[in-house]
Amino acid sequence: MTHWVLARLFNQAESIEQLNDAQQQALELFKRKIANNEYSFEDVPCLCGETEGILIGTRDRYGLEVHTHLCEHCGIMWTSPRMTEDSLKRFYEDDYRSIYIGDPQAPESFFREQVEHGEIIYNYIKSRIQWQAKESLKVFDIGCGAGGTLIPFKRDGWLTFGCDLGGEYLNRGKEEGLVLECGEAMSLSRYGPADVIILSHVLEHFSHPIKSLNEISKLLTDDGYLYVEVPGIFKVHSSYGDFLLFLQNAHLYHFTLSTLSSMMSLTGFKLIDGSEQIYALFQKSREIEMQKEKNPSSKIQSYIYLTEIYRKLYVGRFVFSSKKNVVWLHHRIRDWIREHS
Ligand SMILES: [Zn+2]
């Protein structure tokens, strides 16, 4: 039975994301395609094989029907049913950018933000890895959008390559002389191996993350690094302020730093550094210690309840009438996560 605290995650039929006219039209078009059975859906188990989980909600931020399950065995949250492989491919080609960004061509602001984000990633990686003297280092960005993230690496003399399924956006990066392929990770195999691979807000979109990570591992040098960013469950209160905004139909899996690290260890990657945001640096390694947290799902479930109560208090000004009190609650959630991490 649905707990009253989570009722909104089951009932919300309208988009709660602010959409411009173009996005609104693209969303309506996508809904019509679903209603006309132009897209196919399939049931899938959790990555650990469990087929049953705790149903957290049946809606996403766009009001689309998205069933999110929390696995009581491994703590991963996953979407089921979800679009089939063919349907997902068409969704990314035809609808994704128009709904999520509102422009099938890469806007200049999008490219600029990618470059700025690339600088943050570049500085982070540089501060944590000591490179052996090498002629030139090589980086791949998988799911690179317009390729802007690679610019700071290129400026510093790195060999840079990227790939993405949304072909139109690649044109912007190609104008900057970047080598960008329209395709999945393996489209970069002829340029490998890479010293660093970036997966920035990509892993949560993969339909078979373990299979994809095994492929990506082959694109890396034997001790290469994988930089991963995904939206972290335990940062929903500060990053989104609303658990429903966090849920979006393109995201098929959701992680905490701990559940992400467990999955990564299955594919031969060990955690070097990371945060619950989540950004994390992994290294390919032959000696992996399987790390599995005890009972991760109950902590995640409690956190979701807390954030939903937090939102109700904040939006409804139910008890807390001043910003000070909201900040107080925000800190309690933060402390709670620290205690339970
Ligand atoms: Zn599981």
Q: Are 77 and 68 in contact (CB under 8 A)?
A: yes
Q: For the domain covering 108-284, report its CATH number.
A: 3.40.50.150
Q: Are 243 and 311 in contact (CB under 8 A)?
A: yes
| Structure confidence at residue 293 (pLDDT) | 76
The distance of Cα 41 from the centroid of its chain, to the nearest Å, equals 21
Q: Are 85 and 44 in contact (CB under 8 A)?
A: no
46 Cα: distance to centroid of ligand 1 (angstroms): 5
| Structure confidence at residue 324 (pLDDT) | 64
297 Cα: distance to centroid of ligand 1 (angstroms): 9
183 Cα: distance to centroid of ligand 1 (angstroms): 29
43 Cα: distance to centroid of ligand 1 (angstroms): 14
Sketch the domain layout of the chain as residue ranges: 108-284
| Structure confidence at residue 104 (pLDDT) | 74
Token duo for residue 108: 């200049």
Q: Are 309 and 5 in contact (CB under 8 A)?
A: yes
252 Cα: distance to centroid of ligand 1 (angstroms): 13
257 Cα: distance to centroid of ligand 1 (angstroms): 15
pLDDT in tens, 231-252: 999 999 888 888 999 999 999 9
293 Cα: distance to centroid of ligand 1 (angstroms): 12
Look-up of token digits 């492989």: 85
Positions in the chain short of pLDDT 70: 1-2, 133, 291, 314-327, 337-338, 340-341
The DSSP annotation for 115-134 comes to: HHHHHHHHHHHHHH--PPP-
77 Cα: distance to centroid of ligand 1 (angstroms): 8
338 Cα: distance to centroid of ligand 1 (angstroms): 23
pLDDT in tens, 135-182: 789 999 999 999 999 999 999 999 999 999 877 899 999 999 999 999
